Amino acid sequence: MFCAKEGQTARVEVSAVTVPTMTEVARSETGERTWQLSYAYDFAVLGVPGLTFSTRHNHADHANPVTFAGEGREWERDTDLEYTIQSGPLKNVNVLWRNAALRSNYQRDIDENRLIISYTLPLF
């Protein structure tokens, strides 16, 4: 995937609560060019239903941030390991471990690990 943003200003952040898509995250600065490589695997093929793995790598260059003199460059890597319990009293409980890293020459580096537990309640 290749994206380019045109315009005189960077993308406006509406709210810190807004969760942008990966493409929107990568297209945040004026003139920035981005590409993304992603891979996903469903372990049901190996006899482990409910277990999935995915990873994404975003790379961006040619950014023109107002707070930095020169070409802005950054990359981000996100990896998810997710399991949904298939049966028993905890059926539909989902556990997701997300690891993310961002490296940039014009903003602070970020390293994150998140553990997200969710439950799908079938209504019908």
Q: What is the mean pLDDT of residues 63-85?
A: 85
d(CA 28, CA 32): 7
Task: For the chain, count helices (H), then strands (E).
Answer: 1, 6
Q: Confidence class of residue 122 from pLDDT cuts 50, 70 and 90?
A: confident
Q: What is the mean pLDDT of residues 27-50?
A: 86
Q: What is the predicted pLDDT for the residue at 98?
A: 95
Q: What is the predicted pLDDT for the residue at 85?
A: 96
Q: Confidence class of residue 65 from pLDDT cuts 50, 70 and 90?
A: confident
For residue 45, which phi and psi values (nearest 5 degrees)? -60, -30
Whether the per-residue pLDDT at 40 is higher than 50: the answer is yes
Hey, what's the torsion of the CAs at 13, 16, 21, 26, to 10 degrees? 60
Whether the per-residue pLDDT at 22 is higher than 50: the answer is no
pTM score of the predicted model? 0.72
**Exposed (0-12), middle (13-18) or buried (19+): which is 58, by Cβ within 10 Å?**
buried
* 76 vs 15, residue with greater confidence: 76
Q: What is the predicted pLDDT for the residue at 11?
A: 56
d(CA 115, CA 112): 10
Mean pLDDT for the chain overall: 80
CA proximity to 81, closest of 38, 110, 114, 35: 114
* 31 vs 97, residue with greater confidence: 97
